[in-house]
Amino acid sequence: MRKYFGTDGVRGTVNQDPMTAEFALRLGRAAGHVLTQHLSHRPQILIGKDTRLSGYMIESALCAGLTAQGMDVKLVGPIPTPAVAYLTRSLRADAGVMLSASHNPAGDNGIKFFGGDGFKLPDVVELEIEACLDDLPPLPAPLEIGKAERVDDARGRYIEFLKASLPRDLRLDGLKVVIDCANGAAYDVAPRMLKELGCDVVAMFDTPDGYNINQHCGSTYPEFMCQKVVEVGADVGLALDGDADRLIACDGQGELVDGDRVIAILAEHTQQQGLLSGGAVVTTLMSNMGLERYLNGLGLQMHRAAVGDRYVLEMMREESCNLGGEQSGHVILLDSNTTGDGLMTALQLLCAMKSQGLGLDAMASGMSLFPQKLWNIVLTQRIDVMENPVIKKAIRIAEERLGRIGRVNVRMSGTEPKVRVMVEAEEQDLMLSVGDRLAEVIQGEYSL
C-alpha cells in the first residue's frame, strides 16, 4: 500500500501534510539515498518546477535534503514537465524531479521523480523511497555532501529539442496560432518556440505571478482560448495545463478538439507516413468508444490501459506502440519523449495541418463521438468506495441497462479525494439517466 506516492508522484495542499518543507527535506534525503546506493560515480539530479509560489519553498527544502545525502543538484527553474524528462537524459543526470501539481490550483503542489532514462520511477522504487522515509539513513561525512548549481540555458535546450522533432524543411509560416500558457511552466517556451517556427502567435495567460497558474485558464478552461481564436481569426488554438504535459486544442471555428480527437488525427497522420508502430494506439478506460470505432476503421487496434499516463506508457512499451494518450490531453509520442508533452503534441498537430493543407475541423470531422459525461463526486477523505456493496450493485445495474451500446467506468481519482463516474452511450438520454442515478447512489452513501 502506498502512503505518499499516488499515480503522479506526491501531491497535496501546500503547508498541509505531506506537502510541507519538512516533508520535502526528508523526501530529498530518502530519495537521495535510494537513487544513489548503487552508483559508483558522483550522483547528479535535476530539479524543475512550474510557476507556483510554493515552488521556491519546496525546491529549497528538497534541494537541501538531496545535497545533505550527497547528491549534486542542477536547478533549471520554471520549465515544463516533459522538459525535465528530456533534460535529465540530455544532461546525463541520474534522476530528475518536477515540482508541480499539474492542472490543480496554485495552493497545491507536487513532487514527481524521473529516472536517468527520462521515464517516471517504477512503483517498486517509489515504494522503496517511502520505506526509507520511515527510517532515514545516516548522513554522509561533512565533505561528502552535494552542491547545487543553476542551469541557465535549460529553456533554450528544450526549444531546440522540440524544433528538431520536425522535418528540417518544414516551416509553419502562415499559421495563426492562439496559445494559452495557463500562467504555468510553458509561459516563455511555448510562444518563443512557435514564433521561431514562423507562426503568427497570439499568447494568452503568459504572465505568471505565483498565484494565477491554472486560474480560469489553460486546458481545464479552454473556452477562453476558443473565444480568442474566433475573435482574432486564428487557424488553431492550443491550451496547455500548468506543467505543459497535456494539450487541448480547438479548430478555427472555436470548436474543441480533445485528447481523443488529437489521438485520432495523429494516428492517421503517423500511419500515412509509415511511422506508427505496433499496429495500434494505447488509450485509457475513459477514451470514447467513437475513437475505438474510428481506429478500427483505419485497420488499427485500440488497447485500453488504466487511467493515468504512467499506465498508458507501461502498456505502450508492452505492446511496442509509439502513440498513446488520454482524453484529458496527455499524449505520449514515444519516439520523441518519454512522457506526455503538450508542446510536442501541438507541433505534431501543426505539422499534420501544414503537410495535409487541412484545418483541424476537417481533420477531426471523420470521427463521431458517443455522448459521454464525467461526474466528479467530492469526498471528505480518500476512501475506496469500490468495496461498498451498494455501489457495486448500482454499477452492475448501470452496466445491464447500457448493454453493448455504452460503457460505465467508476474509479477513485489518483490525486484527489474524488470519485469519478464516466458514462457513455449511443443515446444521450440513456447516458444521462444512467450517470445521474450512479452519482446519486454514491452521494447518498458518502454525502458531505
> What does the alpha-carbon distance between residue 155 and residue 153 come to, in Å, rounded to a whole number?
6
Instruction: Give Dmax (Cα) for the chain.
Output: 69
> What does the alpha-carbon distance between residue 351 and residue 190 come to, in Å, rounded to a whole number?
16
Point out the catalytic residue in the list 54, 102, 219, 287: 102
The answer to whether the Cα torsion of 231, 199, 82, 322 is positive or negative is: positive
Structural contact between residues 376 and 438, judged by C-beta atoms closer than 8 angstroms: no
**At residue 208, what is the residue type?**
P
> What does the alpha-carbon distance between residue 190 and residue 340 come to, in Å, rounded to a whole number?
15
Nearest to 352 by CA among 436, 414, 270, 415: 270
Among this protein's residues, is 100 annotated catalytic?
Answer: no
SS (HEC) of 103-131: CCCCCEEEEEEEECCCCECCHHHHHHHHH
**Which residues contact residue 165 at a Cβ distance below 8 angstroms, ignoring those fewer than 6 apart?**
336, 344, 347, 348
The CA radius of gyration of the chain, in Å to the nearest whole number, is: 22
**Which residues participate in catalysis according to the annotation?**
102
